[in-house]
Amino acid sequence: MKHGRWRFLLAALVPALVLHVVFVLSPYAQAFYLSMTDWTGVAGEAHFVGTDNFARLGGDTLFLDAVRNNAVMLLVVPAATIAIALFLASMLNGRRPVRGSSAYQIVYFFPQMLSLVIIGVLWAFVYSPNTGLLNSGLRAVGLSGLAQSWLGEPSWALIAVMAVVVWSSVGFYVVLFSAAIDAIPRELFEAATLDGAGRWATFRGVTLPLVRESVQVAFVYLGILALDGFVLVQVMTVGPGGPDGATEVVGLSLYRTAFTYGKFGYATAMGVALFFASLTLAVFALRWGRRNQVEMA
Amino acid sequence: MTAPLLAACVTTSDDGGKPADTGGAKSAENPLGVKPEASLEVVVFKGGYGDEYAIKAENKYKEKYPQATIDHKGLQKVGEAMQPRFVAGNPPDVVDNTGAGRLDIATLVNAKQVTDLAELLDAPAFDQPGKKVRDTLLPGVVEDGTFGGSPVVLNFTYTAWGVWYSKSLFAERGWTYPTTWDDMLALSETIKKAGIAPWTYQGKYPEYINDPLLTMAAKAGGLDLVKAVDNLQPDAWKQPGLVQAAEAFAELAGKGYLMSGSEALSHTEAQAAWCQKKAAFIPCGSWLEAEQKDVTPAGFDMLMGTVPGGAGDKLPVTAVQAASSESYLVPAKAKNVAGGQEYLRILFSLASAKEFAQANNTLPAVAGATEGLTLTSGLGSVRDTVVAAGPNAFNYRFRTWYAPLAKAVDDATGELVNRRISPADWSTRIQKASDALAKDTTVVKYTR
């Protein structure tokens, strides 16, 4: 009986496992090898070059621009998204939800329904300097002095892109945090009210500590998102990746190196570097989380 | 380690293997020695021009060799589909390596994946008795497809770059298209006073404004300047011609002659603004008219002018930057190399090129293909420009040889026309990129 069950399980699992190893794990493993070759992507041969590709990354100014921009995004995007999402979620739930909160939740979730490419195209129109919604709006309210060539100015372009990343991801985290806040026992909020705590004190003392785990997960996900940014940059920005490298991201460097320059080996090295960056980020974020568990007595 | 095992995944094809001997008997009728029964596989980029013209040439091939079976594929993403086939060593017999995501041609050449087409170029032309194929092409077409001394690509369309304006707008305002840069600046002042922006450009892709700048530099310094740039010579980008051209465009920006906001406009937005007469001039290649046909107002009558020159230029003002594109090649490991070349001989015949010009409003790379056709305003001006330039059609090769340098130039020019760097910085920056590339041993170098 038991014997038969194992056989059934194996028969069911093995084909899927084999497929996974061949089509998912083996390309990963190959990538590590390819990152140490000079493969061009079209030749039937690749020469082993050791760590040359990785040494080259350090002197590649455009790649370093990309690393800098991804680092900025890593600092700004998760923090901004989580702050806004927490604020909105705690307004919509908890002790005194605002009226019509479920309608708000649905509206906030809208950007999740659109593909990122479409979001990029739409926002490119919003940012368009002469006819775009943003500048037209500013001019309409008499603030034409604030109108910028958003994506054409090196000092504004990355900010403009990050704003879109935040805008497109906030809705999802509002829903996530709302669920977490809903799970907090109501007595705790009532106790806080009896103790005379206001909205802010309640948030600090009750809500935030009890949704910490969701926030951590959000940090990991948003961190990985901030290390990407390829789609929006490719669709929206000048160049793309410009002006003059102002919005270059590692994913874009990798794509260009492989498909425009025909240096697959070098591009794979960028990919491997990105892989380690993401891995490090995830490990750190989750470790930092484990040390700060809240005990619910 | 697993490295040797994994290496086998990428290096599936045995490079020692020679393509099957495809040659048949050669004759006057069959100069390339096609085996009549050998099958032929053609892969074509199906973009703005469709692939009807390629199918017509296939039908002619079939008429000539009724025993051959022809497999035709019209694709949007040629590179994506062909890459694994090149790697595996079973490519088709003809590839039109064009469109977004096409394979980098220099990379293909260095990987020895393409056939030398010299034999085809020296074969008799398909429908012009007494001429070789190479004699039927417009100037520069053979060179455009030559890498390291061997012609490996044959481009089917011919693109000229210039500065575009509306004939009706200029007639109505009494403006004439300027031939010197001083006249261009004076006219721009007049246009600006008339409440129209003198210039706009496709700022999202700075290469568009690069073209007139580099054309101007080539006119000033002649072909020697162009060759120095392409050959990655030290101080190539510090040549007076290039510095002056950079200064000219910095001045254009400095005097406020570029429509504000242009720096962030996509090509569609900038070209639409120009079609709405918000700006008088726009730089573009000869595809502009076809691209704008749905948004151009009636009676707009666009014309392409040559980039204005200056006193003491080495090339006449009629000189034009022109290059061929829509890149046909015969893979080295194709099963029917002779058939692939024969197909190109048919495709590049005068009759086939004429049909293409008629259908697509585009200049083909075959000389005389537009003779006797009624041409639209824009295409007519492109043809006249190319005819007037005669032997003075020139082309920079660095864009196809060294994609990373092209990117460095585009970025620097974008900064220059937005007045964030000076012309001197522009030269210095690009020279640095050029020098770095010259020193880079992993990049295969070409000279002209």
Average pLDDT over residues A46-50: 88
Which amino acid does the sequence have at A18?
A: V
Could you tell me the sign of the dihedral formed by the alpha carbons of B413, B419, B424, B425, in that order? negative
Window 374-433 of B, Cβ < 8 Å to A:
403-404, 407, 410-412, 414-415, 418, 420
What per-residue confidence (pLDDT) applies to A194? 87
Q: Which residue of B has its CA nearest to A233?
A: B204
H-type alpha helices, B40-93: 52-64, 78-88
Window 28-47 of B, Cβ < 8 Å to A:
none
Classify B304 as helix, strand or coil: strand
**CA nearest neighbour of A73 among A252, A258, A215:** A252
Of A37, A46, A245, the CB nearest to B411: A245
Say if residue A297's pLDDT is above 80. Answer: no
Q: Which residue of A has its CA nearest to B79?
A: A259
Of B2, B13, B111, the CB nearest to A29: B2
Given an 8 Å threshold on Cβ–Cβ distance, is B203 in contact with A130? no
Q: Which residue of B has its CA nearest to A148?
A: B261
Both tokens of residue B116? 């030398």
Alpha-carbon Rg of chain B, whole angstroms? 23
**Per-residue pLDDT tens over the stretch B278-289:** 999 999 999 899
Q: Which residue of B has its CA nearest to A22?
A: B9
Average pLDDT over residues A241-251: 92
Window 17-46 of A, Cβ < 8 Å to B:
26, 29-30, 33-34, 37-46
Chain B contact for A239 (CB, 8 A cutoff):
yes
* Cβ atoms B416, B250 nearer than 8 A: yes
Q: Which residue of A has its CA nearest to B89?
A: A44
Nearest CA distance, A41 vs chain B (angstrom):
7
Alpha-carbon Rg of chain A, whole angstroms? 24
Tell me the pLDDT band of A283, cut-offs 50, 70 and 90.
confident
Average pLDDT per block of 10 residues along chain B, 448 residues long: 44 45 73 92 90 94 94 91 92 92 87 93 93 92 90 94 96 95 96 96 94 96 96 95 96 94 92 95 92 91 94 93 93 95 96 91 90 89 92 92 94 95 96 95 88
**Per-residue pLDDT tens over the stretch A88-111:** 998 888 667 778 888 888 888 888
* Cβ atoms B30, B62 nearer than 8 A: no
* Residues of chain B positioned with their CB less than 8 A from the CB of A45: 10-11, 15
* Residues of chain B positioned with their CB less than 8 A from the CB of A29: 2, 6
What per-residue confidence (pLDDT) applies to A104? 86
Q: How far apart are CA B317 and CA B392, in angstroms?
A: 10
Collect all residues with Cβ–Cβ distance below 8 Å to B244 and sequence separation of at least 6: B216, B217, B220, B310
* Cβ atoms A130, B260 nearer than 8 A: yes
Chain B contact for A127 (CB, 8 A cutoff):
yes
Both tokens of residue B216? 């101007």
**Would you tell me how many other CB atoms lie within 10 Å of the CB of residue B395?**
23
Which amino acid does the sequence have at A112?
A: Q
DSSP-derived pairing of the beta strands B150-151 and B146-147? antiparallel
Could you tell me the sign of the dihedral formed by the alpha carbons of B183, B189, B190, B191, in that order? positive
What per-residue confidence (pLDDT) applies to B15? 44
**Per-residue pLDDT tens over the stretch B427-444:** 999 999 999 999 998 888
* Residues of chain B positioned with their CB less than 8 A from the CB of A155: none
Report the first-to-last Cα separation within chain B, whole angstroms.
45
Q: How far apart are CA A218 and CA A138, in angstroms?
A: 33
**Per-residue pLDDT tens over the stretch A177-205:** 998 988 888 888 888 888 888 888 888 88
Burial B135-164, CB ≥16 within 10 A → b, else e: ebbbbbbbebbbbeeebbbbbbbbbbbbbb
Given an 8 Å threshold on Cβ–Cβ distance, is B263 in contact with A260? no
Classify B79 as helix, strand or coil: helix
What per-residue confidence (pLDDT) applies to A292? 57
Average pLDDT over residues A125-153: 91
Q: Which residue of A has its CA nearest to B412?
A: A244
Q: How far apart are CA A52 and CA B272, in angstroms?
A: 47
**Residue A227 β-bridge partners:** none
Given an 8 Å threshold on Cβ–Cβ distance, is A46 in contact with B7? yes
Window 53-82 of B, Cβ < 8 Å to A:
79
* Residues of chain B positioned with their CB less than 8 A from the CB of A130: 260-261, 265, 273
CA angle in degrees (0–180, nearest 5) for A230-A233-A237: 165
**CA nearest neighbour of B309 among B388, B380, B221, B373:** B221
Chain A contact for B442 (CB, 8 A cutoff):
yes
CA B52 vs CA B47, B123, B295: distances in Å: 11, 25, 25
Q: What percent of chain A has pLDDT over 70?
A: 95
* Residues of chain A positioned with their CB less than 8 A from the CB of B400: none
* Residues of chain A positioned with their CB less than 8 A from the CB of B272: none
What angle do the packed helices B403-417 and B423-439 form, to 10 degrees?
170
Chain B contact for A230 (CB, 8 A cutoff):
no
Chain A contact for B204 (CB, 8 A cutoff):
yes
Given an 8 Å threshold on Cβ–Cβ distance, is B103 in contact with A42? yes
CA angle in degrees (0–180, nearest 5) for B160-B269-A148: 125
Given an 8 Å threshold on Cβ–Cβ distance, is B266 in contact with A124? yes
What per-residue confidence (pLDDT) applies to B17? 41
Given an 8 Å threshold on Cβ–Cβ distance, is B107 in contact with A41? yes
Place of tokens 């028969």: A11
Q: How far apart are CA B363 and CA B117, in angstroms?
A: 22
Q: Tell me which of B2, B6, B10 to substitute to probe the interface with A (most A C-beta atoms closer than 10 Å).
A: B10
Q: Tell me which of B152, B263, B398, B420 to substitute to probe the interface with A (most A C-beta atoms closer than 10 Å).
A: B263
Both tokens of residue A285? 């974020």
Nearest CA distance, B269 vs chain A (angstrom):
9
Given an 8 Å threshold on Cβ–Cβ distance, is B6 in contact with A30? yes
What per-residue confidence (pLDDT) applies to A41? 84
What per-residue confidence (pLDDT) applies to A1? 55
Q: Tell me which of A238, A252, A272 to substitute to probe the interface with B (most B C-beta atoms closer than 10 Å).
A: A238
- Note the residue count of chain A: 297
